[in-house]
Amino acid sequence: MLIQKLNSFRIILGSNSPRRQLLLRKLGLNFEVIARNIGEDYPPHLQKEKIAVFLCERKSQAFDDIFTDDKTILITADTIVWIDGKNIGKPKDAEEARQTLKTLSGKKHDVITGVCLRSARKSHIFHECTEVFFNSLHDDEIEYYVSHFKPFDKAGAYAIQEWIGYASIGKIIGSYQNVMGLPIQRVYKELLKFCEII
């Protein structure tokens, strides 16, 4: 069984994101969580997927000490929201969350996740992009979401699996799980190749 072969490796998720942990659990993987506080600044000339790729690779570099043997695999990831030529990060407070959601209202944006797979001997980086189409948001809807769901730890100030996803996202093109923070089908396929199982 492919999953059993993957589970013969020591898989480490370098993230304290509950969404990423949930997605890996749903895949049936046994893994450890080791979280480290890593800055999310990046060179200003980077655009779109290059930002996510840069950040996931930088996160992986903070774990140089964990590779005890060739059976240890590290997964790091970074998700960004890109709209109108800009990266929309995590809101600092409720007012910034409101303004972010007003920016997304009635428009299409891209959710891009960069993923780095790393072992003692090699690394592999890839990215996934999902197009998300928001319906127009009423101010009352924005206020309800921000006050009840407190989306301050989320790029773009929202989580697709919460109320706002059911009420106000009209369409997506691409991976739903990518919008949650990890394109899990792609991660599975890339892990199988990275671990030389297929």
pTM, entire model: 0.95
Query: Helix, strand or coil for residue 176?
Result: helix
Query: Helix, strand or coil for residue 190?
Result: helix
Tell me the average pLDDT of the chain. Answer: 96
Burial of 67 by CB count in 10 Å (0-12 exposed, 13-18 middle, 19+ buried)?
middle
Could you tell me the domains of the chain? 2-194 (3.90.950.10)
Is 140 noted as a catalytic residue in this protein? no
| Run of H or E including 87 | strand 86-88
Q: Residue 198's pLDDT band (boundaries 50, 70, 90)?
A: low
> By C-alpha distance, which of 17, 180, 38 is closest to 113?
180
Query: Which among 64, 65, 70, 78 is annotated as catalytic?
Result: 78
Q: Is the pLDDT of residue 143 over 90?
A: yes
Give per-residue pLDDT as tens, 95-125: 999 999 999 999 999 999 999 999 999 999 9
Alpha carbon distances (Å) from 195 to 2, 71, 91: 11, 9, 37
